[in-house]
Amino acid sequence: MKKSKITLLAILSIGLVFTSCKKNKSVDLALNINGLENLGSTAKYEGWIIVDGDAISTGVFEVNDAGEMSTTTFEVNQKDLEDASTFVLTIEPANDTDPKPSAIHILGGEFSGENATLTIGHEAAIGNDFTTSNGAYLLATPTDGAMNNENSGVWFIDNRSGSAVAGLDLPTLPAGWNYEGWAVINGTPVSTGTFLSATGADASAPFSSTLASAPAFPGEDFLINAPSGLTFPTDLAGKTIVVSVEPSPDNSANPFLLKPLVATVSTTAVNNTAYDMSNNAANTNPTGTATR
């Protein structure tokens, strides 16, 4: 009997030592992510594992212009990594002092065995991959009060039923994200404004006139205050129209990597006529794997 007790105590002691060793030991977490972009000097990517509902940082990294990560392996506490249920990738300020994740979750995935498949559609990320989104636009300049320069404005409106309705069918975004419209004019992306709803005006109209009211939909007339190198009014025929998904706060004046809807305006486009946009989500959604 004494021998059995001693043996049991020895086994328990070994177990406690083993557990204690795991708590103090670091192991590698490997990330293989494609489709991320260079965030510049003002922001960085940061990985997190979710353990019993708490977010634990796995480290930060940058991405160069070729999409290459500055590091792909990260030392993480062994027990935390073994207990992790989820991996999440966020965008953080470059000089971040907040120990918690920002609201800008771009990728997420559940661990199944050793691996977590990372997507923007995971509920811990954006929660939708935009592959079923669709859109339409028309060319018009309603804010100048006259039927001239009509090819110098773009509005996300569908009027094919005879009434003006929302031209965009997009999912509701979580905190940390906005939609933004763009016209790429002579190689320069010019914003039409940020928005959360396709059935209301967007956040700004720096290029529109004020001679008439703008429609209550996202869009812009490119009539005044042209950016350097451009001249307004312009002609959007042959130009590219984009709807992007942007981090908020935004780290760049250019479109973010997520561009679910795009269209090339026909050189023979008729103004005040709705045209469909193409779904581009599969070409711009980042994907990856976290391996423990």
How many domains are there within the chain?
2
Residue 169 lies in a domain: yes
Q: Are residues 229 and 262 in the same domain?
A: yes
The pLDDT tens digits for 82-112 are 999 999 999 999 999 899 999 999 999 999 9
The pLDDT tens digits for 52-63 are 999 999 999 999
Q: Are residues 180 and 248 in the same domain?
A: yes
Taking phi first (over 0 means left), then psi (-120 to 50 degrees means alpha), and beta for anything else, what does residue 15 get?
Answer: alpha
Residue 144 lies in a domain: yes
Q: Which residue among 108, 127, 146 closes a domain? A: 127
> Domain range for residue 249?
134-284
Q: Are residues 87 and 108 in the same domain?
A: yes
Q: What is the pLDDT along the chain (292 residues), one digit of tens a residue?
A: 445 554 544 444 444 444 455 567 999 999 999 999 999 999 999 999 999 999 999 999 999 999 999 999 999 999 999 999 999 999 999 999 899 999 999 999 999 999 999 999 999 999 999 999 999 999 999 999 999 999 999 999 999 999 999 999 999 999 999 999 999 999 999 999 999 999 999 999 999 999 999 999 999 999 999 999 999 999 999 999 999 999 999 989 999 999 999 999 999 999 999 999 999 999 999 999 999 9
Q: Are residues 112 and 144 in the same domain?
A: no
Q: Are residues 276 and 139 in the same domain?
A: yes
Q: Which residue among 127, 144, 163 closes a domain? A: 127
Q: Are residues 77 and 149 in the same domain?
A: no
Q: Are residues 140 and 94 in the same domain?
A: no
Q: Which residue among 127, 154, 189 closes a domain? A: 127
Nearest of 135, 199, 133 to residue 167 by alpha carbon:
135
Residue 138 lies in a domain: yes
Residue 258 lies in a domain: yes
The pLDDT tens digits for 164-201 are 999 999 999 999 999 999 999 999 999 999 999 999 99
Q: Are residues 207 and 90 in the same domain?
A: no
